[in-house]
Amino acid sequence: MTVQELTHALSLNPFHLSAPAAEVTGGYAGDLLSWVMGRAREGNAWLTIMSNQNVAAVALMAGTACVILTEGVEPDPALLQRAREKGVNLLGATESTFAVAAALSRLLK
């Protein structure tokens, strides 16, 4: 499933889509950036409530397909700018992290 397909399937808000054709191969939910850096896998959709600019750096280092800000979180202006500069797919969901993770899991089966 591509990031674009995921965006439509989950009715996500595309804050920034630089690579809509990126393949989503799994998911990871976490808010402790150092933990995510070491455990998220390439191609994961990363679910988080963190919205500072460091999220873009961690997403790049982990090779995630996209970042999904859950719980209605909006990106900080610095994060949105960094996502645009670095080509990070940045999406938003109004639902809880749990609900988005469950829906993502069903979609990827």
Q: 23 is in which domain, residue-wise? A: 3-108
Residue 48 burial by Cβ neighbours in a 10 Å radius (0-12, 13-18, 19+): buried
Domain count, the chain: 1
**pLDDT value of residue 3:** 98
pLDDT digits (tens, 9 = 90+) for 81-104: 999 999 999 999 999 999 999 999
**Whether the predicted model's global pTM rises above the 0.95 cut:** yes
**pLDDT value of residue 57:** 97
Residues 103 and 53: their CA atoms lie apart, in Å, by 26
Coil, helix or strand at residue 30: coil
> Which tokens in the block code for residue 18?
């630089």
pLDDT digits (tens, 9 = 90+) for 2-12: 999 999 999 99
Would you place residue 58 in the very low, low, confident or very high pLDDT band (cuts 50, 70, 90)? very high
The CATH number covering residue 25 comes to: 3.40.1390.20
**pLDDT value of residue 79:** 98
